[in-house]
Copies of this chain bind each other. A is one copy, B any other.
Amino acid sequence: MRPRAPRTSQAPRRDHTLSRAEILAAALELIERDGVDALSMRKLAAAVDVEAMSLYNHVANKDAVLDGVTGEFFSRITLPPATDDWRADLRTLAALMRATAHQYPRVATLALTREAVSDAGLAATAAALDIFGRAGFGLEDSVQLVRSTMCFLTGTLIRELGLTQTRRDDRQVRAHRLHSSDIPIIVDAADTLAAFDFEKEFEFGVRLLLLAVEHATRTDGVAS
């Protein structure tokens, strides 16, 4: 049934031509299934039904693949248009980043630890700039606020994703370890420190953020 002379007695090979987009999509899927550490150029190639070396026709190297996946992740954060309520908009931005992170936890961990370095989060940056502008901040202040906001969200999500994905030794174990600390204040707080409620903690953080923005002084950021 198959055309003459396949290279071996293998299954049919791909029918369409390879593309960067296809590679990145496969990489995202693989990372999400098996973790970043398990991703290799050879496995990635196998996933798109090709030999490892063919990948190098479309991406510079493995690092470029990871950068590409990072971009892919941020492009999947689709932001709604701004309203006239900057508080609500800021909450929405935060919630949406978190929701997307939870949708692809492993890819998100990768992306968030690489974000700063690339311009992957540009759409999110734009949305945040708009929000702070509407809240009455000048350009300079808005940029600073965007940066602080993103750093806060990044740090929060990296922590949450990390704790969610790893050693789920339960609260009892953590509490016991903390109780046997030699720092008194840690012992006092052991039970509270041992408990996680990521929903509540995220909400607490967002409230703090709103509080800070609320009380930040508006400057007329008239740039040169």
Q: Which one of A23-31, A42-50, A52-60, A156-164 is at the interface?
A: A156-164
User: Whole-angstrom distance between the alpha carbons of A113 and B153 in the complex?
Assistant: 14
Query: Is A179 an interface residue when CB atoms closer than 8 A count as contact?
Result: no
Neighbouring B residues of A211 by C-beta, 8 Å: 211-212, 215-216
Query: Is A91 an interface residue when CB atoms closer than 8 A count as contact?
Result: no
Number of interface residues of A (CB under 8 A): 58
Neighbouring B residues of A186 by C-beta, 8 Å: 122, 125-126, 129
Q: Known contacts A125-B186, A129-B185, A192-B140: does B159 contact A154 (CB below 8 Å)?
A: yes
Q: Chain A at the B interface: mostly helix, strand, loop or mixed?
A: helix
Does B155 lie within 8 Å of A193, measured CB to CB? no
Query: Is A166 an interface residue when CB atoms closer than 8 A count as contact?
Result: yes
Closest Cβ of chain B: how far from A37's Cβ, in Å?
9
Per-residue CB contact flags for chain A residues 109-125 toward chain B (1 = under 8 Å, else 0) read 00001111101001101
Q: Which of B122, B155, B178 contacts A150 (CB 8 A)?
A: B155
Does A158 lie within 8 Å of B162, measured CB to CB? no
Chain A 94-144 interface residues, beta-carbon cutoff 8 Å to B: 113-117, 119, 122-123, 125-126, 129-130, 133, 139-140, 142-144
Query: Is A183 an interface residue when CB atoms closer than 8 A count as contact?
Result: yes
Neighbouring B residues of A125 by C-beta, 8 Å: 186, 193
Query: Is A72 an interface residue when CB atoms closer than 8 A count as contact?
Result: no
* Closest residue on chain B to residue A197 by CB atoms: B144
Does B163 lie within 8 Å of A116, measured CB to CB? yes
Neighbouring B residues of A151 by C-beta, 8 Å: 152, 155-156, 158-159, 205
Neighbouring B residues of A87 by C-beta, 8 Å: none
Given A154-B159, A211-B215: 16 more A-B contacts, CB < 8 Å: A114-B162, A116-B158, A116-B159, A117-B163, A117-B166, A122-B183, A126-B185, A130-B185, A140-B192, A144-B201, A144-B204, A147-B204, A151-B158, A152-B152, A152-B155, A209-B212
